Amino acid sequence: MSNTRIFAGYSTAKNLHEVTPAQAKKLTHLNVAFGIVENGVLNVSAIEKFLPHLDRIRSYNPNLQILLSTGGGNQIGHGEATRTDEGLARYVRSVLDIIEQYGFDGIDCDWEFPCYTGIMEEKYQYTKLMTAYRREIDALSEKRGKQCLLTIASAAGAWFLDCVEMEKIHPLLDFMNLMTYDLRGWDQPAGHHTNLYEPVGAPVAFSIDEGVRLLLDTGVPAEKIVIGAAFYSRRWDGVPDVNHGMHQPSVTGGDYGPDYTAIYHIYEKDSRFVKYWDDTAKACWLFDGYSFISYDDPRSIACKCAYVKEKNLGGMMYWEHGADKTGLLFNAIYDSLML
């Protein structure tokens, strides 16, 4: 590779078989989702049958660092597991045992999210967890004679920074995967869910740029910030045919929509849908007078890659590998960021 930027992918374990030799050679990091936190320990029983794929993927690229992502998807087990010092030690030991058993190159902690259930003490539990992880990862690095990593999946927003001690955490991390998607959805008006900049007139204001600036203002080094691309969409149905659906209310709310495979092969080719481009937000959407679909395409990803270079950020990551069977979004990141 011609530079040291990070190109990290997330793959659910069941989709590891879709990582091709060419893709493995282009990635710098691969995060395997998920190890589940339950009963105070980490459990990979639901995914272990897929983990033999790791040897195949490593054979394509011995330099690829493969991390186990723990938690994910509003899974709240981290809080219970780390509530006491004894529980914290037991949990961390269970994670390291799995890391060693399967030969992972590190931990990607995806605790979504500290204080999510209103237990504000989790803010400090998070710091203790990262401190314990760092100590154990450093010991494992020394034992193996090679670098092992500690990263997190970080939310983008002031609300997340209010729930963690970021000034204490970022020095412990190798880098942060900033989840710069799902910026809008649920019961919010139809809009961009992974926009680079703030769209004009948005009733719910947020962007990747703002999320990055919040971290920089907190003291996070630019080279530790890895921004995210979405290989899936968010979809609002029952949207009024006003302003091409942008910023309009909906019947269903912005839920998980079609993945990019379906968007490319079906929705973009459906004559009922018109594709629009927001040159302020650097984001696209589809609208047919009823359904509003927000997503990343190669053009929006190229804009994100240019932003990473402009701001000297660490790189880019994406969620999730199996959602783009075309390879177009994967290639757009590599071609725009790594070449």
Mean pLDDT per 10-residue section of the chain, whose length is 339 residues: 82 98 98 97 97 98 98 89 98 98 98 94 98 98 98 95 98 98 96 97 95 98 98 98 98 96 98 98 98 98 98 98 98 98
Burial code of 133-165, b = ≥16 C-beta within 10 A, e = fewer?
A: bbebbeebbeeeeeebbbbbbbbbbeebbebbe
- pLDDT value at position 1? 33
Q: State the pLDDT at residue 197.
A: 98
What type of residue sits at position 111? W
- What CA–CA distance (Å, rounded) separates 269 from 249? 25
Q: Hey, what are 214's tokens?
A: 């919040």
Architecture of domain 6-231+295-338 in CATH? Alpha-Beta Barrel (3.20)
Q: Where are the domains of the chain?
A: 6-231+295-338
The dihedral region occupied by 182, where left means phi > 0, alpha psi between -120 and 50, and beta the remainder, is left
Is 112 marked active-site?
yes
According to DSSP, the residues that pair with 278 across neighbouring strands are 283
Half-sphere exposure of 18 (CA within 13 A, CB side): 17
Query: Of residues 18, 48, 112, 268, which has the active-site annotation?
Result: 112
Largest CA distance in the chain: 61
> What does the pLDDT read at residue 7?
98
Picking from 318, 312, 309, the residue whose alpha carbon sits closest to that of residue 336 is 309
∠ Cα 202 206 208 (to 5°): 130
Global pTM value: 0.97
Alpha helices for the chain (secondary structure H):
21-26, 53-60, 77-81, 85-102, 122-144, 158-161, 166-169, 208-218, 260-265, 298-311, 328-333
Please give the pLDDT value at position 3: 67
Token pair of 146, please?
Answer: 């090679």
Distance, CA of 228 to CA of 264 (rounded, Å): 20
Taking the C-alpha atoms of residue 149 and residue 108, their distance in angstroms, rounded to an integer, is 8
Task: Determine the Cα–Cα distance for residues 284 and 299; give it in Å rounded to an integer.
Answer: 9
Q: Which helix (H) or strand (E) holds 278?
A: strand 274-278
